[in-house]
Each structure stands twice: as structure tokens, then as C-alpha cells.
Structure 1
Amino acid sequence: MLMYANMKQRKSTPSSQQPVQLDTFTLLHLRLYQFLGLCSVPLQLKCDLATVNQHPQRSSTHPTWWFLLIWHCLHFIFFGLLQFWTSTNHDSVLYNSDRFGKFNDILKLIATISAHFVILSETILQRKYMQKFLITYSQLHCRWSLGTYREEYGLYRTYVWKVIISTAVYLSIVVNYTQSIATRRQWLTFFLPFIPSGFICHFRSIEIMYFMDMLRIELEQLNKNVERLVLFSQRKFQTSAQRLDYFEQTICDELQTLMKNYEDIYEMSVLLKKAVGASIACNYVKEYVMILSECYWSYWMIYTGQDIIEYSLIVPSAMTIFLLLITSRNCMRSANFLAHNVHKIRHDLEDLNISTRLQSFTLQILHQRIIIDGIGFFVLNCNMARDVLGSIATYMLFFIQFMPKFKNI
């Protein structure tokens, strides 16, 4: 137990300035997020562990860390100057034909800029949790995966297609809308400070979906290992009495290994919530505000008899929320299947060792539940979609009732 505690202590205190070793597929994805200012953890391609152990560099600062710090500072400076220009030229940026349109623009800008600022700040301030998350994932993943690019792509094929389709839809709608309003300089200048921040927030949601898929894949692999143990336990009742001790000891050892794996996966979920919890909450609120504002503005344009194309801007926000909820739901559902599979392991009442391990594993799953939430405010599941639709419908009814008063403003 003492050796295990020391091992856990060494594992939980990595140097925040040393690169994390990852496979090629994961490394390429996170390089993209580093370019967008969404990952401040130094990364490198996984190499021979013997070479790493021969040349430890825990006491030195890796040059990649300084480059990432400077790059994130440049992000802050660029977007800070862009928003400062927006605030000083708000008369030419915001919609000024009526007060309702101006309020709608201010609401969308504040939601997007606030979410972007929180994302950039969290990326820097919570980098140690993200590094621990990636280290735990790398150590857990290498126990069963070869780490080749083809194999990793096969595991994340669904995620890749989600990214391609959602990004293509997002860019096509933004480009189409920007071209349609290019003759109206006032609206075009509004989208100049708005689109970059919205693009970063969109890719933050995609990055979070990738991290949740990491959890889901590890949970699915753990489920497969439990199912193999279920089949192995059934063979126990078909063998001779001389080999019962062997089966009992093997099942106990396998259960101990599975409990350790689940503990690592649970630790990943806790680290993930600490690393991106604020981004989940702010991005969700931002997308909700965008949907509500675009619904208001679309109906307002119809009511005043003007051309309407703003309804298309609802699609990217609705699609982002839907993909986030589905990905989170699938991750938590894999965790729920685990408890069901554990209870299928067969054993006799006299097998006290197996019974004790099964009870411990069940209690562990019960007390260490894997839940994806936004810093405790809400759980990301499909019930949130119902709540969003219900609240938008309710607010739209109030808005429609007060529409004549808004027109007289």
C-alpha cells in the first residue's frame, strides 16, 4: 500500500513545463487547438520510454512552454485590441436603426466576447489540470492500444466526421450571411469583431467533444474487459474442482486491475471538469443567448416587413449544443453500462474474495460517478435540449405579446 501511495503521489505531481508524450493522431489535433489558443500544455510525439528515463528534464523549463505562453499573450493582445476598437466605435458597429436591434447586437457581442475571454483565461490558468488529464489518458490508453495513426483514426472516426460536417456548416452559413450583408456596411462591421471570437468558441466546443470522446473510448474498453471477465467467470462452473482456486485468484486479480483502471478514468473525468468546466458553462450560455437573440431578431424582421436571413445563424449554435449533449450523453451512458456488466460476473456464495471485490467495485462505481457538467450548474445530457426549447418557446411568447410596444420605440 505504501508503494502504491508513493506511485500515486509521483503521478499526481508532474512538472507543468515538460511536454506530454502523445500518439500522432492526438498530437495533430491538439496542435491545431494550440494554434487557436485553446491548449497551453507542451506536447511532443511519444518516443521510447527508455530514452526518456535516461535523460530526465524535470528541473529545466522546456522551450515550448515559453513559446505557448507568448502565443497566448498575443491572442489576448489581439482580441483585446479588437474589442477595444469595437467599444470605441460602437456607433458605427452596432445596429442603430432602432433600440431593439442595438440591444440585440450588444447582447450577442457581450455573450461571445465574455465566453472567449473565459476560454483564453481558463486555458492558461487551468493548464496543470489539462496536463494531468493528458498524462493520465496517455498512460491508460497505452495499456491496450498500439497508438498507430490508422488505429486511432478508427477509434475517433465518428468524431472526425462530426468536426468536418459541423465546421463546414458553420463556415458556409457565416460566409453566405456575410456576403448577403456586404452592401450594408454597418452590419458587416459588426461581424468583423464578432466572427473571430465566435470561431474560437466553436472550436472550443469541438475540443471539449474530443476530450469527452477520450473518456468514452476508455470506458468502452473497460466495458470490453469486464465482458471478457464475465465469460471467464462462466467457465469456472465448467471446470474441475482442482482448478477452482486458480479461477478464483484470477478473477480477483482481474477485478483489482479493473478497479484501478476505473479509478484512472474517474480521475480523468475530474481533471477534465477542472480544466474546461468554465468553458463548458460559458459556451453553453453563449450558444443559448445566440439562439434566443436570433429567434427574437428573425421574428422582429418578419414583423417589420424586412428581408430575413438571420434565421440561418441559429443553425450553428443549435448544432453545437446538440453535438455537445449527444457526446456527453454517450460518455455517461458508457459509464452506466459498466455497473450492469459488473453484476453479470458469476460466482458462488462461498467465494468470499470475489464477493468482496465485486462489492468494492460496485461501491466504487456508485461513489465515483462519471458526470459531465458545467462547473456544477447543469449536467450535459439530452434533458438540457428539452429545457432550452421550452425556455425559448416561453420567452418568444412574451416577446410576441410585447411586439407592438417595441415597434413604437
Structure 2
Amino acid sequence: MGNASSTNTHRWLHCEDVLRLILAEIPRPDLNSASLISRDFAVVARGLILQRFVLDISDENKCKRRLDTLRSSPHISERVTELAIVGELTRKRWYHHLKELDDSSSTELERVESLEELQCIIQGGIFKAGLQKVRWDAGLDIPATLINAIQVGFPECRFTLEKYAGSVLPAMPNLISLAATVRFPGDPLLNFQPILLHSPRLHSLRIAAYNRSGCVVRVVTLEDTEDEVHTKPFLTYDPTKPVCEMEIGPRIEELVLEGFTWSDAGAVKSLESISWSRLRKLELTRCNAIPLLRTWVLVGTSLPSLAEFKFVVWLESHDEQTRASATTQALQNFLSSASGLQALHIEGPHHPLVSTIATHHGAILRSLVLHDHERADEPQRATLTTRDLRRLGESCISLHHLGVDVNADYTVTQDADSKVTHYGLR
């Protein structure tokens, strides 16, 4: 039978493993705070802190000092497994970079000395532990030479690109997540063909249309031409090639699209060429997505893993009746064909959809938001009726979160036969 000291040591070894798993999932500021709790927490937390090396390019002098510290401190560089490049250049903000890419035909990227220095450090083999993950969240496009240097030195390193505007990228077989702000006429998945073809592990794709007019939302229509909407040479669809290699991927798990329009042909090509069996989250915000939703039903694309769906559409008064009817019908058909959803968020014409939601998704729906945007003309918007709320309360037995519109006096439209005050929410 061991003594008390050895027993406590054995117990702490197990606790340390659990603590490391927990602390590895928290944000860096919280990790810094955790290191101050106790000596035991400090051992685990500071070890994780040293694994993540953050380089902020917004301050060039500080950035160079960080690189000098990396070179002169083997106890730090030899433990780094995650690299994060963040910030914006002090002389140029992210939206300035986007505007330059939009207005200029040049594809040459701006040189940044600290990034060139970082590339030399990587090629020199300073990261002895091996880079496992690189996250790019800086206000300019990541240089292709830096990507190549990382991929040559660490073939299994995974990439997360938080800001991308359309510059040329090399083949990135370990790109797992991409968030882009770009500008082209429509059919965004087709235009991302050069990336989808060479990124079989990509599982999260978020694409927003660049709006050069600031706070005013620019609506892109099918009548927009390539002369009016500048297309980056790299992000161009080649109909002679497949959109991606169906056999090897990617298999998108999260797809978020904002501000795009779709053609019927583009929707068909996108849905037939990409595997959607793992799609878990789908968001379509301010998109003319009727062709996409309609095609999803017509081609019989199965979405067995879809759990979250968000749809946001703005309707103007002059075309509200026509577009609202078409949008509602497309949504109704899509929701009827989709598997049971756990989270549903609709902003737009949703009142005719209550019955479909309750019938097809009520059993496992945990979060539901139904919102109709206000308009200048009367009626500004109509709230759900108590009959609709009662239907949702009776069908959505697992609902934990409900968001609906109410009148100015915090009431909803009353039905003559409505006497129910409890709607089954928990």
C-alpha cells in the first residue's frame, strides 16, 4: 500500500490530464487568468500559453521584438505548436485592403517585413515541437510563400483563414476553415472552385459579398454584369473542370453565405458536385437564395446531418408580395424535405411556415426564432397569433429558446377561441 505522498501524486497526475483538456478549450485571456489561480493551475496553463504563439502585425516594432524573443528563447520556440497571425497594418485597415483588391487589377500583395522574417524563422526549423495549427486573422491576404514554407516544414499543419479577400492561394490540403469577403457576380461556390478543388479537408466555409458602400446594403441582382462587378482572376469558375473532387472532398459541415445571388444553373452545378452528407449548419443571409433552396429539393440532395438553419431576407415594398410568395414557397418545400432541425432562425415572411415547422421539426427543435422586419408602410409587420403559438407549444416539446415579434404593448394577435396561457416552454 503506497504512502500518502505517492497516492496524492498519482491522483494529481490524473487531475492534471483532465485540467489540461479543459484549459485547452478556453480563450487565451481566460487561460492567462487560470494561471494565477494556484501553482498547479499555473503549471498546466502556462504550458498551454507557450504552445500558442500570437504575432500581432498591427505594431511593427512590437512584432519584431516578439520575433527576436522567439529566436533568443529556445524554451519558448521549442514548445510552440500553434501559430496565430492577427491585427491590421497601422497604415491600412482591412476595408482599405478590400477596396484596393476590388478597384485594382493587380494581384501583387503588399510586402510586410515581419512576415518575411517569420517565413525565414520557420524555414530555419525553429519550431522543434512541430506546428500543428496556423490561424490567420490579419487585415491582409496571407502570402502564398508563407503558406508554402509552413506546408513544406509541417505537412500535417492545419490552416484556419479568418480573413480572405481573393488572392492567389497554393493548394492547401489541410485547410479546414475559411472565412472570406469577396466580390463577384454570384454563385459563390462555383467561384471558389480553385480552393475547393485542392482543399479536401475544408469543413467550414463562410463567404460574404464585399459591400463597398459602407453601411448601405447593396443588393446584387442577376442583371449585374462582370463589368459592373469586378472578379478576381483567381476566384473564377472554369466549366471544363469539376467544382471539387467528389470522392476525396471537401465535405462541408458549416456553410454561411451573405449577400449573394444564385442562378438556377449555378445552384444545380454546386449541389450536384459537392457532398453535403455532413452539412450541419446552413446560413443564408440577405441572399437571393430561392434558386438554391428550390434546387436543393428538386435534385433530391440529402441533408441527414443538418441541425441548424438560418435564413434572412430583406423585402422592399415594391416587390414584397411577389418575392414574399416565392420565398415562402421555397422555404416551405425546403423545410418539408429537410431532416428534423434542432435550431431554426427565419427573418422574413414566416407566418405560413408555422404548420410546416411544427409538423416536420417540432419533436427535436430546441431553438426557434421567427422575425419579420419592420417596414415604413402600414402594417409594419404582423405578429404570430395565439393559435400559432399554441401549435408550436404543443408540437415543440423540447424547445428551450423561442424568439418571436410582439406588439408595442408586448402582446400578440389574439384569436377568439384562444384561452391557453402556457405554451410548453421550459
- Please report the TM-score for the alignment, with normalisation by the length of structure 2: 0.21
- The structure in which a higher percent of residues are strand is 2
- Please report the TM-score for the alignment, with normalisation by the length of structure 1: 0.22
Structure showing greater relative contact order (alpha-carbon pairs closer than 8 Å, 6 or more residues apart): 1
- The structure in which a higher percent of residues are helix is 1
